[in-house]
């Protein structure tokens, strides 16, 4: 007849074995993920190398927005967002000028001294010209997408 001590000992052995199996499986999974990540980096580099020249040619006069081309029956689309920053000191100066002219600067400038890009785009050229020295536009991180198409 088994004693409670014997049953608890079996339980402890099983728990230890279970934990060991989990640890082994996790290590194997981690190794496999690392291998896959390495392969993915190589494939990404290969893709980048295959499309870099075409993208560079299309980006010569267009640093942001969408560019597309078809290669080997695949449409390659790169999207680069705009990263717009505003010079806070210049915005303060513009705020003061607008206020000094008797206009309400709060119609154009937010409290944190930022300007909504959608609002800036909608302004008349005269107002845009005043704000442009405080505005900086930089390309964001590019993203690529692919779609199989029939080559034209």
CA atoms within 13 A of residue 100's CA, in its CB half-sphere:
6
Kindly indicate the confidence band of residue 151, based on its pLDDT and cuts at 50, 70 and 90.
low
In angstroms, the CA 40 to CA 45 distance is 9
In angstroms, the CA 143 to CA 1 distance is 68
Nearest to 109 by CA among 140, 138, 136, 130: 130
Q: Does residue 105 contact residue 111 with C-beta atoms inside 8 Å?
A: no
Question: Of the given ranges (5-19, 20-34, 90-104, 109-123), which has the lowest mean pLDDT?
Answer: 109-123
Kindly indicate the confidence band of residue 11, based on its pLDDT and cuts at 50, 70 and 90.
very high
pTM: 0.56
Q: What integer pLDDT is reported at residue 20 of this predicted model?
A: 95
């Amino acid at each position: 007849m088994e004693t409670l001590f014997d049953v608890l000992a079996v339980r402890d052995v099983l728990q230890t074995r279970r934990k060991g199996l989990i640890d082994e499986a996790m290590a194997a999974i981690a190794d496999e993920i690392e291998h896959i990540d390495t392969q993915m980096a190589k494939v990404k580099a290969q893709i980048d190398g295959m499309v870099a020249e075409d993208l560079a040619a299309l980006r010569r006069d267009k640093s942001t927005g969408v560019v597309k081309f078809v290669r080997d029956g695949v449409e390659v689309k790169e999207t680069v967002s705009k990263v717009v920053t505003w010079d806070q000191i210049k915005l303060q100066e513009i705020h003061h000028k607008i206020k000094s002219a008797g206009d309400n600067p709060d119609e154009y400038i937010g409290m944190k001294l930022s300007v909504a890009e959608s609002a800036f785009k909608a302004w008349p050229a005269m107002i845009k010209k005043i704000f442009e020295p405080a505005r900086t536009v930089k390309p964001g991180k590019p993203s690529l997408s692919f779609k199989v198409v029939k080559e034209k």
